[in-house]
Amino acid sequence: MHDSDGREPEHDTHGHDAGVRGSQEPALAATRAPLMERELWRSLEDRGRTPAARVRVQAEILAPLAEPTSRRSFLQLMGASMALAGLGACARQPIEKIVPYVKQPEDLVPGRPLFFATALTIAGVASPVLVESHEGRPTKIEGNPEHPASLGATDRFAQADIMRLYDPDRSTVVMHLDDISTWANCTEALRVALGEQLAKRGAGLRILTPSVTSPALAAQIGAVLAQYPDAKWVQYDPDGRDAVREASRRAFGAPMSVRYDLSNADVVVTLDSDLLTSGPGNVRYARDFMRRRRIHEGESATMNRLYAVESMPTSTGSVADHRVGLAPSEIALFTAALAAELGVAGATRPSAALPDKAARWVVAVAKELAAHRGRSLVVAGDCLPVEVQVLAFAINAALGNVGPTFVVTDPIEVRPTAQHEELAALASDMQSGRVETLLVLESNPVYDAPVDLAFGDAMRRVPNCFHLGLYRDETAELCQWHVPAVHELESWGDARAYDGTLSLQQPLVEPLYDGHSSLDVLMLVAGQTGTVLDLIRSQWQVLYGGAGFEKLWRRTLHDGFASGSQFVPRGVELRADAVRDAATRLAGTSASGNEVVLRFDPNVHDGRFANNGWLQEVPKPWTKLVWDNAAIVSAAMAHELGVETGDMVELQTDGGKVEAGVWVLPGHAERCVTAHLGYGRRRGGNVAAGAGFDAYALSTTRSRWGGPVQVRKVAGHRTLVTTQEHHDMMRRNLVRRATLEEFTANPHFAHEEGPAPARDESMFKTFEYKGNAWGVAIDLGSCTGCNACVVACNSENNIAVVGRDQVRRNREMHWIRIDRYFEGDLNDPQIHHQPVMCMQCENAPCEQVCPVAATSHSPEGLNDMVYNRCVGTRYCSNNCPYKVRRFNFYGYQDVKTPVLQLMRNPDVTIRTRGVMEKCTYCVQRINHARIDAKNENRPIRDGEIVTACQQVCPTEAIVFGDINDPESKVAKMKRETRNYGVLEDLNTRPRTTYVAKLRNPNSELEAKA
Amino acid sequence: MPQIFHRSANSIARVSIFGAAMFGIGALFLTLAITRSSWATRRDTVIPQPVPFSHSHHVSDIGIDCRYCHTSVESGRYAGIPPTQTCMNCHSQIWKDSPMLEPVRASFKTNTPMQWNRVHDVADFVYFNHSVHVNKGIGCVSCHGRVDRMPLMRRENTLQMEWCLACHRHPERFVRPLDQVFNMEYDAPHDGGVLAKKLVEERHVQSLTNCSTCHR
């Protein structure tokens, strides 16, 4: 990540190569070419291409884009290489040291990892995890299988957090202004500042924290406020739960928390919500949702149905049975109309007309919902206005969903507040000089607060600002004092998960730097001594005190959470006047003019992961963009603006203006442009630097998540790097799919292309697999394209980050990729995800062409890859029809930065330059399980080996196992009629097969579409 | 036209052609010989240690079992180098003032680990696991030799791949009953392989020679 970034200038000056496809084939014009029925396409440009053009474009993409090497330097390098080639082998292996413990910790067997349960938080909400620790060094994060919020899976953010722990850009020392200082100096300064405040009862003291669900932290803040009664505690997170809290306050009379139980829902309607892959509880939601959707032969053949109404297409929308793109203001109208159609008490039909399609939807969706009372669910996204939230509550209440699917509980935040109001009050207090001492604990408001608060300017007026954070970020820069924070894997803590389950955080490693936690700092402020652990224990004693506390504490420490602490559903009374009020307000609105849609980025979220190379390099679900954000528009809007992908536009709102590269995205709503937040970091670190533009500049208090915008084409070009045309599968029918109805009529639809050639129709000898035979089955219908598997694979297999420029040259190293295909209408396409990793062919084309036998067949059917044997001819990659082999064109791994060495999985070799690499079904995990089984002299049990991608998958789409064992889960999946292999006609006999995707459309909407 | 080359050029050409070929072959053999030599493999070379620990004394004179120090040999990838505490279990009582043991005492006192020099060092791209070998009935002696006769530790085998494969191809020649694994003096019965066959069947010993058994 920190090694190979030949970064590009902000605006591409040599537009000629980037514009090749743009200039020769105007994308929009080309798209008018008629499509074959049900043909799949990968990008706008691809849509209209003739086969010949496709070959040409592939050649362009594959050709290493102008990396100029002169003939002279080429000869010099080659000569030197020849001369020095043999010398590398002349060294004798140096003598290495063995450093045993002085006193070996209990339970530790060197070389055998231990797993500890803890939790990571985003905006205060806990994601429960198990962390793999090698001799005290955390290397991999997994979900906590026993925790209701995880069930063993995590999202992509939790996977990538290990890289944040070891990020070389983390802040390492206490800073005073621009000088390196010490913790002692900082505490002295804090003592003096607090001394002044003590006399004033803390009137000039403010504490800014993220949302707090932690009882210990809240109690500690309480202790501080007891000493400084006039001080104020402000919570702020850019995560937009404000509207949900406010809606709850209006509708139920109190700020309750809402969670969903998708295991009871037959019909789900999402309104601008990425329910399944973002936000609190997404991992559990995705699992419950997909479990209601998978069809196994011989069992009941019912599927739930998902309607997605959204502006920016999301992963959730990509698995919907029906999706409609509407601008946010239209979504508000849609909700109002839906409420009215359902006859919700107090609802009013809006006067403004909806687009035709949406109007048809209102009728059809209302009919479906009404037919599924108590078994349906309407989910409004966090970024929608309060009125829409209230109506969504009302619809659920009217449908009798409150309880079975729509669960209202006590708030998970200790003190639910209107965060944006509090922050505005803080800003105005600072502006007017009422704030003398400000403690900013692990927040970055200078970057992510609404621009009209001018938070940075206001902060400059505060004489004593103390900042605690992982990075010396935009906010830290303006504070007099900055203290490095500890990562959550370095500290004690507690937090509640989305359902209220109280989770305990324990340190996996001593703080790498001189770091402190929020609790640490607040103990200092309260003048307490002792340890954070004692503090948390005493707090838990308050909650769970009594005779058995020690036992409970140990149990909790082991499990990672207090079992049974999930919040119980509360009965609520819906206030009719709140509904009437919301409906009336919405009825008066209209949808006109262009809107900007500001949403958290699928990769870097609100910006907190901007310095994370793994997340930056993962292609985003719909756009397959990497290392950038863009002004995302529909094809029609691009046409209207006269722009194409890569052109620059200026977006202007009442908050400000930014220039952004355009990305034309099929399926995006009309009349609106999406800008993802979290990019354009000014002080985000070396990885974040130069990536994207700062969309927070458009965000104001009034229109926090978007509003009216003026879009104007401006000069310039930005090369937006995308992987959507990499590893082209040449439009062969690789994603097989059907509707539930078609499947019932023709269960063998996935095999219409005929059977694969016979096993012995090959000039090479056929392998016999007598023992285990490993295989993978992937359920295409379950894949949401959330990318958790890609990040998990990166982490498990020490996969290098190559940087923006190298990705542009088709050199990303991901062993598992998620191919994304569009189907059908340009403005309203269906989208299909297909995870592709090494297929471990039984007749592997790669093995036969390797001149040095660096890739060879194992008796269990793996295509072994021996890195120390590989000489880098790349023949194997050229011969791979699935395009799953990755070549190290450079030494992509940073082997010099010491802290990054800690991050690596010691069970997997670090590949060097000139070496081919690929997925081997996590052979290190296979070997571990095999050795364990052999030590116990028993066969390997089904489910004992889980690959990294399988383990993390929230929807259980990937299943690994022994296909020779007829009772194994994978063998059962492979026996389903929908199971098929990709490119089987080549007689490669792939071990990875796919279960064809099923969709459950509403015939009423399908017919008219 | 006069001859450009003198007559002797013929001989020179012959000699240099054959010479080059011989040189090439010689260089090849030399390379192969060097890579297998004890200089390159450090076979039978005593590597100096901070404390001249004698396996011979501790194993044959005192009779300490291998697993007293190498605790994880049956359960983990590494056999385990004993923590300083293990040494101090005895040496806080006996030889407690020996100057030879000063580094051990210093390590214990200052809580600083000992730094031993690795004697058995397989290449970094090899993922060797002790536990599976021990649990399948491969004796310590098979790889490490008669450590009970080594006053100072040395490597008895090359640890090169051809040496690994010699056993991986024919594990039946080396397996022994599980209760004999740590026996330094085990003598296999000369029964024409009857016991070996039984052991291979009982313990499901496989001949694993594919790459990912050791490399990944």
Residue carrying the six token digits 């354009």: A680
Per-residue pLDDT at A4: 41
- In a 13 Å sphere around the CA of A477, the CA atoms on its Cβ side amount to 14
Contact: A907, B216; criterion CB under 8 Å: yes
B-chain residues near A100 (CB < 8 A): 80-84, 113-114, 116
Distances (CA, A) of A633 to A104, A325, A337: 59, 11, 26
B-chain residues near A772 (CB < 8 A): none
Per-residue pLDDT at B52: 93
Q: What's the gap in Å between the CA of B21 and the closest CA on chain A?
A: 19
Give pLDDT < 70 ranges for chain A: 1-37, 50-51, 58-68, 85-90, 240, 298, 300, 1007-1009
Q: Are A937 and A771 in contact (CB under 8 A)?
A: no
B129 at A interface, C-beta within 8 A? yes
A97 at B interface, C-beta within 8 A? yes
Phi, psi of A708 (to 5 degrees): -60, 145
Residue carrying the six token digits 């006193």: A103
Nearest to B216 among A923, A934, A935 (CB): A923
A589 at B interface, C-beta within 8 A? no
Per-residue pLDDT at A81: 79
Nearest to B117 among A97, A102, A864 (CB): A97
Query: What is the 3-class SS of A600-619, one letter each residue?
Result: EECCCECCCCCCCHHHHHCC
Per-residue pLDDT at A939: 93
A-chain residues near B39 (CB < 8 A): 92
Q: What's the gap in Å between the CA of A301 and the closest CA on chain B?
A: 42
Per-residue pLDDT at A6: 40
Q: What's the gap in Å between the CA of B186 and the closest CA on chain A?
A: 22
Phi, psi of A633 (to 5 degrees): -135, 165
Residues 180-209 of chain B whose Cβ lies under 8 A from any Cβ of chain A: 203-204, 206, 208
B75 at A interface, C-beta within 8 A? yes
A293 at B interface, C-beta within 8 A? no
Q: Are A601 and A679 in contact (CB under 8 A)?
A: yes
Tell me the ipTM for this assembly. Answer: 0.91
Angle between helices A788-796 and A156-165 (to 10 degrees): 30
The set of residues, in sequence order, having a beta carbon less than 8 Å from that of A958 and lying 6+ positions away, is: A776, A777, A778, A779, A789, A835, A947, A949, A950
Residues 103-122 of chain B whose Cβ lies under 8 A from any Cβ of chain A: 107-108, 111-118, 121
Contact: B113, A100; criterion CB under 8 Å: yes
Q: Identify the H or E element spanning A1006.
A: helix A1003-1008
Contact: A100, B132; criterion CB under 8 Å: no
Instruction: Find the residue in A nearest to B105 (Cα).
Output: A102
| Residue of A98, A770, A856 to mutate, interface with B, max B Cβ within 10 Å | A98
In angstroms, the CA A185 to CA A706 distance is 43
Secondary structure (3-state) at A28 = helix
pLDDT above 90: residue B39: no
B-chain residues near A770 (CB < 8 A): none
Q: What's the gap in Å between the CA of A866 and the closest CA on chain B?
A: 6
B-chain residues near A867 (CB < 8 A): 125, 215
A-chain residues near B80 (CB < 8 A): 100, 109-110
Per-residue pLDDT at A88: 60
Per-residue pLDDT at A66: 56
Q: Which two tokens stand for residue A973?
A: 């999946």
Contact: B84, A937; criterion CB under 8 Å: no
Q: What DSSP string describes A350-414?
A: -SSPPPHHHHHHHHHHHHHHHHTTTSEEEEE-TTS-HHHHHHHHHHHHHTT-BTTTEEEES-SSS
- Using one digit for the tens of pLDDT, what is the confidence trace for A638-682? 999 999 899 999 999 998 999 999 999 999 999 999 999 999 999
Per-residue pLDDT at A15: 35
Per-residue pLDDT at A10: 38
| Residue of A108, A846, A934 to mutate, interface with B, max B Cβ within 10 Å | A934
Q: Which long-range contacts (CB under 8 A, 24 or more apart) does A845-848 make?
A: A845/A879, A845/A880, A845/A881, A845/A986, A845/A988, A846/A876, A846/A877, A846/A879, A846/A880, A846/A885, A847/A876, A848/A764, A848/A879
Contact: B212, A858; criterion CB under 8 Å: yes
Contact: A110, B80; criterion CB under 8 Å: yes
Q: How many CB atoms lie within 10 A of CB B148?
A: 18
Per-residue pLDDT at A991: 95
B-chain residues near A858 (CB < 8 A): 210-212
Average pLDDT, integer, range B58-77:
93
Contact: B135, A934; criterion CB under 8 Å: yes
Per-residue pLDDT at A106: 85
Torsion-angle region of A651 (φ positive above 0: left; ψ -120 to 50: alpha; else: beta): beta
Question: What mean pLDDT, rounded, does chain B reach?
Answer: 92
Q: Which residue has the higher pLDDT, A995 or B216?
A: A995
Per-residue pLDDT at A62: 62
Burial A450-466 (b: 16+ CB within 10 A, else e): bbbbebbebbeebebbb
- Using one digit for the tens of pLDDT, what is the confidence trace for A240-261? 689 999 999 999 999 999 999 9
Contact: A868, B215; criterion CB under 8 Å: yes
Contact: A937, B82; criterion CB under 8 Å: no
Please report the number of interchain residue pairs, chain A to chain B, with beta-carbon separation below 8 angstroms: 130
In angstroms, the CA A982 to CA A606 distance is 38
Secondary structure (3-state) at B99 = helix
- Give the single-character DSSP code of A104: P
Nearest to A104 among B83, B127, B215 (CB): B83
Q: Are A208 and A937 in contact (CB under 8 A)?
A: no
